[in-house]
Amino acid sequence: MRAYNQKAWFFVLPVLMLVAFNALIPIMTVVNYSVQETFGDNVFFWQGLDWFEQLLRSDRFHAALGRQFLFTGLILLIEIPLGVAVALSMPRKGIWVPVCLVTMALPMLIPWNVVGAMWNIFTLPEIGLLGYFFNNILGIPYDMTQDPLAAWITIVTMDVWHWTSLVVLLSYAGLVSIPDDYYRAARIDGASNFAVFRYIQLPKMKTVLTIAVLLRFMDSFNIYTEPFVLTGGGPGNSTTLLSIDLVKIALGQFDLGPAAAMSLIYFAITLLVSWVFYSVMNNQSDGEG
């Protein structure tokens, strides 16, 4: 019989402790809240799965979730193709490469709340540069504080401005890794520019694009700071995304139980979509092998 050395468990202990403190215990606290009701003073009543049931049937939650998917869908539809297009038109060699790269990286270096504040001031109808330009010079009514459509256009544009660079940089990294011989061979084979994109550039960018989509999905699905500073969820509830609604419930109304249940569902959705997307992309590339 083989003698097992049980000492190894001892060495895993520090990692277990670390994971417990930074992930397990906080999540369990939320789980704990999600099945109880409290009126303060640290007094809790057992509630079971009531909060989950209530939430899943609530119109308010459906509306926020819908807005969230709309927002994430819109920015992915714009940022991914736009990012690829910008990356394709960037120079591959020469002194302009660092200039382009730094310029591209700039928006990402700005703190999220500053981005929100910047765009708020920029787009205010009377004093903002853009708002003033639209209303008073072009004569197009544009007021993101009153008009839901204008508010949506503004938050989407802000996110595109802030995060397209990430897609650009990732795609660019994929593009520069393609050896020159591929382009030479394609020229000799008589391939059109579209064929070069479809059969050389796109396949080589696939891995980084998968990562770009995943990162942009997770980030935009959990976005809070920028729209909160820009519109505060308004006008009305028109730009109240999931995270903004969650904070309203948890800290505004102090409904800890429902907020905790909502957090867990929110987390589950993010995890599920990311996992499905990643597995589908991975399975496809396995099939190629």
Partner 1 sequence: MAKITLSHLKHSYEPQPKGPDDFALQEINLEWQDGGAYALLGPSGCGKSTLLNIISGLLIPSEGQIFFDDRNVTALSPDQRNIAQVFQFPVIYDTMTVYDNLAFPLRNRGVEETIVNKRVSEIAEMLEVEGILKRRASGLSPDNKQKISMGRGLVRDDVNVVMFDEPLTVIDPHLKWKLRSKLKELHHRVNATMIYVTHDQTEALTFADRVVVMDKGQIVQIGTPVELFERPEHTFVGHFIGSPGMNIIPCMIEGGVAKFMGQTIDLEGPIRSGSSKNCEIGIRPEFISFGESNLRGAVKKISDVGRHKVVEVVLGDHKIAGIVEDAAPEQGETIGVILQKNQTRVYRDGWLATEMAG
Can you give the binding site for partner 1, defined by CB under 8 A? 179, 181-182, 184-185, 187-192, 195, 199-200, 203-204, 287-289
Q: Write phi, then psi, for 192 (nearest 5 degrees).
A: -75, 170
Please report how close the Cβ of residue 273 comes to partner 1 at its closest, in angstroms.
25
Please name the residue that has the structure tokens 């929100």. 116
Q: Degrees (nearest 5) of the Cα angle 170, 221, 113?
A: 80
Instruction: Name the burial class of residue 93, with classes exposed (0-12), middle (13-18) and buried (19+) by CB atoms within 10 angstroms of its CB.
Output: exposed
Determine how β-strand 36-38 pairs with β-strand 44-46: antiparallel
Residue 88's DSSP bridge partners are none
Distance of CA 134 to the CA centre of its chain: 29
Question: In this complex, which beta carbon is closest to partner 1, that of residue 3 or of residue 188?
Answer: 188
Half-sphere exposure of 112 (CA within 13 A, CB side): 13
Structural element, H or E, at residue 148: helix 148-176
Please report how close the Cβ of residue 213 comes to partner 1 at its closest, in angstroms.
18
Output the six-digit token pair for 148: 């839901």
Question: In this complex, which beta carbon is closest to partner 1, that of residue 53 or of residue 189?
Answer: 189
Please report how close the Cβ of residue 224 comes to partner 1 at its closest, in angstroms.
39
Question: In this complex, which beta carbon is closest to partner 1, that of residue 186 or of residue 218?
Answer: 186
Torsion of CA 156, 162, 165, 166, to 10 degrees: -90
Question: In this complex, which beta carbon is closest to partner 1, that of residue 120 or of residue 171?
Answer: 171
Question: In this complex, which beta carbon is closest to partner 1, that of residue 84 or of residue 155?
Answer: 84
> Smallest Cα–Cα separation from 198: which of 184, 212, 186, 181?
186
Distance in angstroms (rounded) separating the CA atoms of residues 151 and 136 = 18
Please report how close the Cβ of residue 94 comes to partner 1 at its closest, in angstroms.
14
Please report how close the Cβ of residue 280 comes to partner 1 at its closest, in angstroms.
16
Question: In this complex, which beta carbon is closest to partner 1, that of residue 41 or of residue 181?
Answer: 181
Please name the residue that has the structure tokens 């595109």. 160
3-class SS of residue 23: helix
Please report how close the Cβ of residue 204 comes to partner 1 at its closest, in angstroms.
8
Please report how close the Cβ of residue 195 comes to partner 1 at its closest, in angstroms.
7
Question: In this complex, which beta carbon is closest to partner 1, that of residue 89 or of residue 192?
Answer: 192
Please report how close the Cβ of residue 99 comes to partner 1 at its closest, in angstroms.
22
Question: In this complex, which beta carbon is closest to partner 1, that of residue 199 or of residue 224?
Answer: 199
> Smallest Cα–Cα separation from 91: which of 164, 172, 184?
172
